[in-house]
Homo-oligomer: A and B are copies of this chain.
Amino acid sequence: MKANDPRVAEGLVDASGGKMVLLVADGLGGLPHPDTGLTELETARTPNLDALARQSVCGLHTPIAPGITPGSGPAHMALFGYDPVQYEIGRGVLEALGIDFELKPGDVAIRVNFATIDGNGLVVDRRAGRIPTETCVELCRRLDGIQIPGVEVIVRPVKEHRAVVVLRGEGLVGGLEDTDPQETGVAPKSVTAETDEQRRTAEVLKAFVSAAAELLKNEPKANMVLLRGIASRDPIPTLTERFGIRAGAIAGYPMYRGVAGLVGMDVLPPAETSEELVAAFRDAYAEYDYLFLHFKKTDSTGEDGDFERKVKASETLDALVPGVLGVGPDVLTVTGDHSTPSSLASHSWHPVPVLIRAASARVDRVASFGEADCLAGGLGLLRAVDLMPLMLAHAGRLGKFGA
Contact = CB atoms under 8 A, between A and B. Distances in A.
Q: Is the interface of A mostly helix, strand, loop or mixed?
A: loop
Interface residues of A, number: 76
A170 to B, nearest CB: 28
A37 interface: yes
Given A3-B83, A375-B378, A378-B375, A68 B9 contact: yes
| Copies of this chain per assembly | 2
Given A66-B390, A68-B393, A69-B399, A3 B365 contact: no
Interface in A313-358: 341, 343-344, 347-351
Contacts of A343: 360
Given A3-B84, A37-B363, A360-B31, A65 B386 contact: yes
Contacts of A379: 66, 381
A399 B78 CA distance: 18
Interface stretch (A89-97, A99-107, A140-148, A282-290): A89-97
A169 B156 CA distance: 60
Given A85-B8, A91-B403, A402-B84, A65 B389 contact: yes
A71 interface: yes
A390 B400 CA distance: 27
A66 B386 contact: yes
Interface string A348-386: 111100000000101111000001100111111111011
B5 A85 contact: yes
A347 B385 contact: no
A195 interface: no
A215 interface: no
19 contacts: A2-B85, A3-B65, A3-B68, A3-B78, A3-B84, A5-B65, A32-B362, A32-B363, A67-B393, A68-B393, A70-B401, A71-B403, A91-B402, A98-B403, A341-B360, A375-B376, A376-B376, A379-B381, A380-B381
Q: Which 7 A-B pairs have the closest CB atoms?
A: A67-B389, A380-B381, A71-B402, A67-B393, A66-B386, A74-B402, A67-B390
